[in-house]
Amino acid sequence: MAKITFITKEGETIELEGTSGSVMELAVEHNVKGIDGDCGGVCSCATCHVHVRSEDVSKTGSASEIETDMLELDDFANEYSRLSCQLQISDALDGVVLTIAN
Amino acid sequence: MQKSELPDPFEEIRLKSGVGEMNDQDDPVKMVLRHKDVRKTAHNYKTFTSAAVPGRIVVPSEVNIRKTRQIPFELDPPIHGVYRAIVEPWFKRPLQADYAEKLTAQINALVEETLEKDKVEVIEEFALILQSRALTLLLNIPYEEASTWISWGTHVFRSEDTALDGDKANILYDYIDKQIEKAIKNPGEDLYSMLLASEFDGKKLTGEEVKGVMVLTFAGGRDTIINVVTNAITYLSEHQESLERFRKEPEIIGKAVEEMIRYFSPLTQMGRVVTEDTFVCEHAVKADTRVSLCWASANRDAAVFENPNEIVIDRKINPHVGFGFSHHNCLGASHARQIMKVLLSALAENVASIEVFDFKENIEDLGEFKRKVGYDYINAKFNRLTK
């Protein structure tokens, strides 16, 4: 079980708990605004872009090359950017705070 | 070669120089072929504009048959984004449960009708009907309207004899003009009325702007949907095991849809007009000339995709550009994805196998390349799954 906190563009804080699947799927299931997951999680659309809180980067790890290439051309990308479809939910993610980029 | 195979005609030139050439009505196009360059070029709207003369960024060019600017497609940021924000929520409606339910009912009924036939011509009697009926949902207008669009045939813009057919295009433009007049007199809950009630910069959208969105909606979602549906049917006729997998593991259907969009790339390319002398993939390009973003080539780039020429039905990482890339990614993508998900589910649940009797390939002539994009006709039979 991992508790994951989303902060939307409007500043709303949403706390969700998940056990499996991706962070994008958890967010879409709960209609978190700004996480659309249009491509269903195959790294093709960048509609699940989040910024990981700096102290949580050790929990999420860093982006793969394909993910980085995708984010490189996103106007809201920064060093904390991840595509949440590529973050698999496990106990290791417990407590992470993600700010939605779009 | 299997019937369903779509060969990649771009590989050699993509590896060698990264840029192809085609002439198009004396306005030549430099085709950008590599995945990375396609994405970079698509993203750089300042140097590669969409806001050229209406019709010029389309390949083949529609400059001679269209004066209406397609909106938001033929605009650049930041104006593009303002128009896109007006239409985006409407084009996300396919994600709603009641929309998906209606679409499922439509497609199940069509599959059932098809199962009753000894022979079906998949383009005219299946894909065109499916696309037209589904469009009534996207526009939120009565189902019966689909019969008008079906009567136009498969090519609104293109005919078999000439690349561009102005008379056929006028059928669509005249039709849209009439529908806009009707919606002005009698506003309803449809897309025309929503657009007429919308504002840009504090002013109601003009008839011409509404027409621009509607032309895009009709044109962008016709051949593309027909291509992906017919290619999927042909693929499944040779891959019964994939139908079996969809039955056992319906959770992979979303990935299968993305993979089909990648492999079939139902829209081969989209152009841009160069605004300043520059380079693409180290090739000089001059201001006021055209480049194209060749989605079909980028989607087979082995630098990005393992086994690019195979359909890997549950491909997990799939950064395809089949719906375009960046600001102008396909407005109708949610509708298209929903159609394909529902279709694959409906086929898996009801169809044991598909037999293809005969077919004719639709080969695009792209200068130094010839690309199979779909079919002119396919005669087939759907065999019922006995449960």
Average pLDDT over residues B320-346: 97
- Among A15-24, B24-33, B153-162, name the one with the lowest average pLDDT: B153-162
**Neighbour tally for B98: CB within 10 Å:** 9
Per the CB < 8 Å rule, is B319 touching A66? yes
DSSP H/E element including B177:
helix B166-185
- Chain A residues in contact with B329 by the CB 8 A cut-off are 45
**Neighbour tally for B54: CB within 10 Å:** 18
What does the DSSP assignment read for B298-333? HTT-TTT-SSTTS--TT-S-----BTB-GGG--TTH
pLDDT for B154: 76
For residue B321, what is the domain's CATH number?
1.10.630.10
Option in A42, A69, A70 nearest B316 (CB): A42
Per the structure, the count of domains in chain B is 1
Closest chain B C-alpha to A30 CA, distance in angstroms: 14
Option in A38, A40, A43 nearest B319 (CB): A43
Per the CB < 8 Å rule, is B323 touching A40? no
pLDDT for B14: 98
Give yes or no for A40 touching B (CB within 8 A): yes
With 0-12 / 13-18 / 19 or more C-beta atoms within 10 angstroms meaning exposed / middle / buried, residue B245 is middle
pLDDT for residue A75 is more than 90:
no
Backbone angles phi, psi at B70, to 5 degrees: -75, 130
Closest chain A C-alpha to B317 CA, distance in angstroms: 5
Cα–Cα dist A84/A48, whole Å = 5
Q: What is the extent of the structural domain holding A38? A: 2-100
Per the structure, the count of domains in chain A is 1
The reply to whether B281 falls in a domain is no
pLDDT for B162: 53
Q: What is the per-residue pLDDT across B150-186, written as a single tens digit (0 to 9) for each?
A: 998 876 655 444 555 667 778 899 999 999 999 999 9
Per the CB < 8 Å rule, is A42 touching B333? no
Q: What is the per-residue pLDDT across B121-134, written as a single tens digit (0 to 9) for each?
A: 999 999 999 999 99
- Chain A residues in contact with B40 by the CB 8 A cut-off are 73
Taking only residues 86 to 105 of chain B, the set having a beta carbon closer than 8 angstroms to any beta carbon of chain A reads 92
The reply to whether B344 falls in a domain is yes
The reply to whether B51 falls in a domain is no
pLDDT for residue A98 is more than 60:
yes
pLDDT for residue A15 is more than 60:
yes
Give yes or no for B316 touching A (CB within 8 A): yes
Closest chain A C-alpha to B253 CA, distance in angstroms: 10
Give yes or no for A70 touching B (CB within 8 A): yes
pLDDT for B165: 64
pLDDT for B161: 47
For residue A16, what is the domain's CATH number?
3.10.20.30
Closest chain B C-alpha to A43 CA, distance in angstroms: 5
Taking only residues 256 to 295 of chain B, the set having a beta carbon closer than 8 angstroms to any beta carbon of chain A reads 257-258
Average pLDDT of the residues of chain B: 95
Backbone angles phi, psi at A22, to 5 degrees: -100, 165
- % of chain B beyond a pLDDT of 70: 97
Q: What is the per-residue pLDDT across A20-64, written as a single tens digit (0 to 9) for each?
A: 999 999 999 999 999 999 999 999 999 999 999 999 999 999 999
Cα–Cα dist A52/B156, whole Å = 47
Nearest to A23 by CA among A68, A80, A86, A67: A86
Per the CB < 8 Å rule, is B319 touching A42? yes
Closest chain B C-alpha to A44 CA, distance in angstroms: 4
- Chain A residues in contact with B257 by the CB 8 A cut-off are 40
Closest chain B C-alpha to A99 CA, distance in angstroms: 21
With 0-12 / 13-18 / 19 or more C-beta atoms within 10 angstroms meaning exposed / middle / buried, residue B240 is middle
For chain B, the distance separating the N- and C-terminal CA atoms, rounded to the nearest angstrom, is 33
pLDDT for B74: 98
The reply to whether B61 falls in a domain is no
Task: Say if residue B77 is preceded by a cis peptide, omega within 30 of 0.
Answer: no
The reply to whether B199 falls in a domain is yes
Predicted structure pTM score:
0.96
| Chain B residue at shortest CA distance from A44 | B319
Per the CB < 8 Å rule, is A66 touching B40? no
| Chain B residue at shortest CA distance from A21 | B251
pLDDT for residue B40 is more than 50:
yes
Cα–Cα dist B91/B343, whole Å = 19
Average pLDDT over residues A76-85: 95
- Chain B residues in contact with A43 by the CB 8 A cut-off are 317-319
Per the CB < 8 Å rule, is B258 touching A39? yes
